[in-house]
Every structure is written in structure tokens, then in C-alpha cells.
Amino acid sequence: MAVVMSLRKALTIAGLDSGAGAGATADLKTFHSFGVYGMVALTSVTSQNTVEVRSISDVPPNVVEDEINVVAEDIGVDAAKTGMLSNSAIIATVSRTVRKWGFPLVVDPVMVAKSGARLLREDAVNSLRNLLLPIALVVTPNIPEAEVLTGETIKDLGDMGRAARWISREFGTSIVIVKGGHLTGPESVDVIYDSRHESLHELRAPRIDTSNTHGTGCSFSAAIAAGIAKGMDAMDAIRAAKEFITNAILYSVGVGHGHGPVNSLVSLQLSAAKYDALMDSIKATNRLIAAGLRSGVSISLLPLDYFRRGDEAIYVEFDEGRLGDPVFGLPNDFSSLAVEAIGKGLKGIVAIKGVTAQALNRCGAIKTVGTKYWIAMGDNAIDAANVIINCLDQHQ
């Protein structure tokens, strides 16, 4: 019998980026990463890559309205976000239709593409202010967008807080996030004003040195909408989105010749890589136990593209033939081994203790660490386990 999944549902009302780094395609990737069923109402089609926006074709407002209505009527919408709404007619249509359905709305006030192309007509800014912001639960301007909305220059965190508070009070938006990506410094700091509690908050993350930031705002706002769709409080959804987008930038995608896209699928990719590492280590450990080895450690590293820290490796310890609990993170004894393995393009390490030294010492593929461990490396943990087992078969 087929299993029918029950998923929460999120809608993006945004433009299409043909390069798939931003816009509705980035939003859908983000929704899926959060385990949310993603839907789309296209507002514009852009001929776009990492370098330029070559052309923009707007979808007629009546079609945008139909797109929203048809999914809301049949499938339902637990939360939505807006991205590129290029003109006043589209903004008015979206505002009217969202009001009718009443689902929570996150507004990303997209004005300019990463390449510099203008995505919101100047004569539509007031429509954005007066028709869309008042119905938003959350609005997510970056500093240049917040300057347009407020008419004020923003130079520091204090200015960001004042801008967030002013936007909320002026237009009635519950929560305003002024994103700090355009500032400099070792941290990327977003300032949030939550009118529900009349409180200011700061969200901090390490600033990542990369030019691959295409789609940052789209994916961040989509992540907030996904969290709200899943029933999270808006502030909790914002915190989860900050962690998500930091990882998406850290593991960005190297395509094109301009500003490459953030990796909106990284959470799924990391989960899959960690699961593969987990299974490799468990299988390797069971193989060692079956071969009669009584004590040791099996280590599986993530692929080089994902390996940044020691917690991106898994180890399984066994003693007296009993399998221990898998653990992410490496003891200090093995940190240098992980660096060595990655340098060789290998992802598996097995460290054996308590066996006859002479047998393993005869194998050229085996090395020692101090007086405690005999080490083998391989393409994966199972391969490293086979090196140990083959050595013992030949020399015991």
C-alpha cells in the first residue's frame, strides 16, 4: 500500500530566474529543504544568469491572481512569501488576493538583482509600502531596501534598529528584519523589531568571504515562510532561517562567471552525506567484529566538499565485540588523521587497538599512532576495515 505523506504547504509569489539561483526556483528548493510542500505563483519571467538580467517579462495581473486562487482553493496555503513584484498592478492584485485568503505572509521587498538590474519600478515603491507591507507578518529588507522604504541613510546597527522600528510602526508590519549583509565586519548581523513585544533583537553569524551570494534574500525569506507554514512562531522561524542561510552561503554552488548562487539544498545534501557516513561506519564496525577484532574505532568522513569541522565526521567505537553508539565529532587523537585522510582524498579510517602488533606491523598499509592504535585508511570506512582484515589474514 502506498504511503501518503501529509506536508505543510507554502506558496511563493515571485519571479522566475532562468539561472535558478534566485526567485521562485530558489524558494521551492528552500521549501523542500524544510520538508514543506512548495507551490508557486509566477509574477515575472527573467532571462537571467549569474552575470546579468537580460530581459524581464511580467505576468499579467489577472493570471497572477488565478495562480494564487487555484492553489488556495484546492491545496491550501499555510504561509506564503512574496519576492519580485515588478509593478503597481501586480502588487495591488497580490495584496487584494492575499487579504481574501488571509494566510500569513512574508514580504521580501525585492528591488534590485545581485547583478544590479532593477526589479521593482520606481513608481511602484509606494504601492509596495502602502498595499503590501500592512498585510505582512514579516518583512525582510536589506539595507539599501530599508533606505528606500524609510528615506533615511543606514550606516550601523543603531540605524538598522531605528529603520526596523519605523517601518513596523509606519506600515503596521508585525516583524521587520533589516538584514546586515551590506555592512562590513567579521559578523553578519540582522536587526529585528518585533512589534508584538515592542522588542529589538540581533541575529549574528560569521561573515563568510564569498561572492556566491545570489539568491540569499530569496532563500532567507522562503525559509521563514517555511517555518511559519510548519507552525513555528515567527521569531523561531527567523532564527532557523538565519542558520539555514548561513549554511547555504558556506556551501555555495560554484556555477557561472558572476555571483554564484547559495546552496538552498545544502541541508538535504548534508543529511544524506551524514547518513551515508553513518552507515559506512556501522557496516565497517560490524565487519571488524565479525572478523574477530575485539576493540577499535571506525571513522567515516564526509566528502571533501562538505568537510569543514570535526563534527562533520562520524565514529563508532567497539569494545569486547560490542558496538557503541555512533557519535558525530572526532576525539583529538584522530583530528590529524582526518586532515591526512582528506589530503589524500580518502574518507575512511579504522583504528584498531588490543591486537597483536607484529601481525599489523608487517603490513605496509598500516601505520601506528603512539603505542595504542594501528591505523588503516581507505576510500571509505568499509575499505579501511578490509585493509585491516586482509592484513591479519595474511600475517597471523
Residue type, 31: F
Q: Which of the residues 19, 173, 218, 274 is marked catalytic?
A: 218
Catalytic annotation present for 100: no
- What is residue 361's three-state secondary structure? helix
Please indicate whether residue 217 is annotated as part of the active site.
yes
- Band of the pLDDT at 142, cuts 50, 70, 90? very high
How far apart CA 392 and CA 366 sit, in angstroms, is: 11
Q: Catalytic residue at 179?
A: yes
Mean pLDDT over residues 135-156, rounded?
Answer: 95
Quick one: average pLDDT of 310-325?
Answer: 84
DSSP secondary structure code for residue 252 in this structure: -
Is 76 tagged catalytic?
Answer: no
- pTM equals 0.91
Q: How far is residue 313's CA from residue 277's CA, in Å, rounded to a whole number?
A: 7
Per the residue annotation, which of 29, 81, 114, 179 is the catalytic one? 179
- Indicate which residue of 12, 82, 213, 246 is catalytic: 213
pLDDT at position 165, please?
A: 98
Average pLDDT of the residues in 98-123: 87
Say what the pLDDT of residue 40 is: 99
- Residue length of the chain: 396
β-strands 53-58, 138-139 pairing: unpaired
Give the pLDDT band (50/70/90) at residue 46.
Answer: very high
The torsion of the CA quartet 192, 21, 229, 106, rounded to 10 degrees, works out to 40
Instruction: Count the Cβ atoms, other than its own, within 10 Å of residue 102.
Output: 10
Query: Mean pLDDT of all residues in the chain?
Result: 91
The question of whether 173 is a catalytic residue gets the answer no
Query: What pLDDT, on the 0 to 100 scale, is given for residue 365?
Result: 67
- Is 23 one of the catalytic residues? no
Name the nearest CA neighbour of 355 among 299, 281, 295.
295
Say whether pLDDT at 310 is over 60: no
Which whole number is the average pLDDT over 123-134? 93
| Residue 198 grid cell | 515592542
Residue spans of the domains in the chain: they are 9-264, 269-395
Give the range among 87-91, 216-220, 309-313, 370-374 with minimum mean pLDDT: 309-313
Q: How far apart are CA 272 and CA 311, in angstroms?
A: 15
By percentage, how much of the chain surpasses pLDDT 70? Answer: 95
What gap in Å lies between CA 40 and CA 229, rounded to an integer? 15
Residue 259 has pLDDT above 80, yes or no: yes
Q: Where residue 369 falls among pLDDT bands split at 50, 70, 90?
A: low
Predicted confidence (pLDDT) at residue 140 exceeds the cutoff of 70:
yes
Fold (CATH) for 9-264: UDP-N-acetylmuramoyl-L-alanine:D-glutamate ligase (3.40.1190)
Segments in the chain forming alpha helices (H): 23-33, 61-74, 88-101, 125-127, 143-150, 157-171, 216-229, 234-250, 266-290, 332-343, 357-361, 381-395
What pLDDT band is residue 311 in, cutting at 50, 70 and 90? low
- Dist. CA 212–CA 261, nearest whole Å: 5
Predicted confidence (pLDDT) at residue 181 exceeds the cutoff of 60: yes
Distance from C-alpha of 275 to C-alpha of 306, rounded to nearest angstrom: 13
d(CA 265, CA 283): 27
| pLDDT mean over 6-35 | 97
Distance CA 9, CA 139 (A): 20
pLDDT surpassing 60 at residue 153? yes
The residues, ordered by sequence, that sit 6+ positions from 145 with a Cβ below 8 Å of its Cβ are: 109, 110, 111
Could you tell me the pLDDT band of residue 102, with boundaries at 50, 70 and 90?
very high
Flag the least confident range among 7-21, 212-226, 329-343. 329-343
What confidence score (pLDDT) does residue 313 get? 84
Helix (H, G, I), strand (E, B) or coil at 25: helix
Identify the active-site residue in 217, 227, 260, 378.
Answer: 217
Burial of 286-311, coded b for 16+ CB within 10 Å and e otherwise, reads bbbbeeebebbbbbbbbeeebbeebe
Residues 6+ apart with CB under 8 A from 394: 362, 363
Per residue in 262-296, pLDDT (tens digit) is 999 999 998 898 899 999 999 999 999 998 888 88
- pLDDT for position 330: 81
The rounded distance, in Å, linking the Cα atoms of 385 and 350 is 6
For residue 97, the cross-strand partners are: none
**200 Cβ neighbours under 8 A, 6+ residues apart:** 161, 164, 165, 191, 192, 193, 194
